[in-house]
Amino acid sequence: MHPGIRTHRRRLLRGLAAAAIAVPLVLGAAACGDDEGGGSTSDPNAPVRLSVFYWGSEARAKLTEDALNAYKAKHPNVDFEVTWQANQGYADKLATLAAGGDVPDLFALDDNMLADFATRNVTADLTEYKGGKIDVSKFPPSLVEYGMVDGKLVGISAGENTQGLVYNKTLLTKNGLPEPTTGQTWEQHIDWAAQVAAKTKVPGTQDPSADYKAFWVWIRQQGKDLYSGKELGFTADDLAKWFTLWKGARDKGATPTPDIIHEGNVTDISKQLVVTGKAGTSWVWANQMPELKKNTKDELGVVAYPGDPSGQWARSSMYWSVARGSDKKDAAVDVINFLVNDQEAVNILGTDRGLPSNIDLRTAFASTVSDPNMKLSIQVENDLASKFGKAPQVPPKGHSTFRSELVKAAENVQFGRATPEKAAADLIAVVQPKLG
C-alpha cells in the first residue's frame, strides 16, 4: 500500500455472504459545510487529503488502490483516505454520513442512488467542470446524460454497461442446438428455450419476470419507459402482460420451476443458474460474463436481450460524485478526470466497473486484453453501441422500492399466489406513492 493511501476495511460475519466485506467509516478528511461553489487551494501543489468512499470486492479495492497510487505518483501532494465496503448497506451508510454533514469528498453511486442523493443536495453540480477539468467529449452522449438530475451533472460515469443475456454455449453445441441471437423476438426466445429444455432436460432460460433490467428493456420496446418524471411510465395492464408472457414460458417448460427461479433471483453473480446448470441462460449485465465464466468449465456466450436492441442503452454502471459541501472539489474533480481519461488508469481498472467510458481509451485498452471472455463482452457491447436507443432518465427516488416490489409481485404470480393482473395492480399501488 502506498504510504499516502490509507485504506480501511473489516470483515462481517461469515453468514452475511452478500456483504462479505465492509469497513468502518474512518474519514479523517471527510467533507462538510454547505458551500456549493467550486474550490480548493489556489496553489495546485499545496498538500491535499481527499476522502474516498465506494463499494466493491477485495479485487476492486486492489484495482482502485493501484489507480489512486498511479495518480499520486503524478501528484505527490495529494493523499487519500480510502474507505470501501460491500454493496449491502452502502447507501444506508452514505445517508448516515450525509445526515451528519460528514460526506466523503469523492464517492461512488449507481443509478439506484443517484437521484436520491442528488435531491438531498449531497452531490455537487459538476456542470461548471464539464469540458474543462472533466473531459466527457469522448464519452457516448447517453453516458453523460445519464449522470444528470434536474438539469445538473451530478455523476461522472466510471464505466459503461448494458444488459447481457449470457448462455451456456457448451450445452448448446453438445446437443446440436442453435445459439440465441441479438434481435430475436421475446416469443422466439421463449420458443428457443422450450426447444433447449426438451432436448437437454435443462430449462432453456431463467425466468426474468422479477428482473427489473429485463422488464425495463421490454417496456421500452413497447414505446414506453420505466419512469416518466416522478411517475411510473407504464400501466398495470403493461405489467400484467409482462407477467403473462412469462407464465406462458413456464407453462411450456422453457423456464425452471418457481423454487429454482427464486434461487436465481436471490443469488449473487457467482451462482447464477447459467453456471449452476439449472438454466441455459441468465439475465445479467454484459460485463459480468467474465465473472460468470470463473464459476463454470463450460464455454459461455453473450448477446443482447431479446427484441429490438434499441431498447437497450449505454448505461453508466457506476458514477463518481463529489460532495456538495467539499472544500476540495477541484482536487476531487481532477482525480475523477484521471480515473476516466488517463490510459494508465483505464488499463489498471479494466472492466471492473464496466467498459471504460472514454471510447478512444476503451479501444486502446481492448487491444491489450487477453481474456477471451472479457474480449467477447467488450466486442458485444461495442457492436451494440450503434444500435443503442436514447438513455432513459435517471430513476427517481423510490427506484429501490420498485425493484424489490417487482420481485415480490413476479414471485406471487410464479407460485400461483396472485394472477398477473392482481400482482401488477398491487405493485402499482405500493410503488407509485414512493416515487419522488
300 vs 373: CA distance, rounded Å: 8
Q: Is the pLDDT assigned to residue 10 strictly greater than 50?
A: no
Mean pLDDT of 233-237: 98
Q: What percent of the chain has pLDDT over 70?
A: 90
Mean pLDDT of 138-151: 90
Residue 373, domain member (yes or no)? no
Q: What percent of the chain has pLDDT over 90?
A: 74
CATH code for the domain of 300: 3.40.190.10
Residue 384, domain member (yes or no)? no
Instruction: Tell me the longest C-alpha to C-alpha distance in the chain.
Output: 70
pLDDT band of 42, cuts 50, 70, 90: low
Q: What is the pLDDT of residue 199?
A: 98
Query: In which region does residue 64 sit, left (phi positive, over 0), alpha (psi from -120 to 50) or beta (all else)?
Result: alpha
> Do 90 and 148 fall within a single domain?
yes
Residue 379, domain member (yes or no)? no
> Do 145 and 172 fall within a single domain?
no
pTM of the predicted protein model: 0.83
> Do 195 and 293 fall within a single domain?
yes
> Do 152 and 278 fall within a single domain?
no
Residue 34, domain member (yes or no)? yes
> Do 35 and 128 fall within a single domain?
yes
> Do 26 and 152 fall within a single domain?
yes
Question: Higher-confidence residue: 223 or 26?
Answer: 223
Q: Is the pLDDT assigned to residue 247 strictly greater than 70?
A: yes
> Do 123 and 240 fall within a single domain?
no
Residue 170, domain member (yes or no)? yes
pLDDT band of 1, cuts 50, 70, 90: low
> Do 87 and 153 fall within a single domain?
yes
> Do 322 and 191 fall within a single domain?
no
Mean pLDDT of the chain: 89
245 vs 187: CA distance, rounded Å: 8
In terms of residues, how long is the chain? Answer: 436
> Do 235 and 269 fall within a single domain?
yes
Q: Is the pLDDT assigned to residue 125 strictly greater than 70?
A: yes
> Do 179 and 67 fall within a single domain?
no
Residue 385, domain member (yes or no)? no
In the chain, the number of structural domains is 2
Model confidence pLDDT, tens digit, residues 184-230 = 999 999 999 999 999 999 999 999 999 999 999 999 999 999 999 99
Q: Which alpha helices (H) appear in 201-235, and where do they start and end?
A: 212-221
Residue 250, domain member (yes or no)? yes
Tabulate helix, strand, coil % of the chain (nearest 5): 45, 15, 40
Range of the domain at 267: 163-312+391-434
Model confidence pLDDT, tens digit, residues 75-121 = 999 999 999 998 889 999 999 999 999 999 999 999 889 999 999 99
HSE-up of 203 (CA within 13 Å, CB side)?
A: 24
Q: What is the pLDDT of residue 178?
A: 98
> Do 168 and 259 fall within a single domain?
yes
Is the CA virtual torsion 274, 279, 281, 282 positive or negative?
negative
Residue 191, domain member (yes or no)? yes
The three three-digit cell numbers of residue 139, written as one number? 464519452
Model confidence pLDDT, tens digit, residues 48-65 = 999 999 999 898 999 999
pLDDT band of 7, cuts 50, 70, 90: low
Q: What is the pLDDT of residue 381?
A: 85
Q: Which residue has the cell 469522448?
A: 138
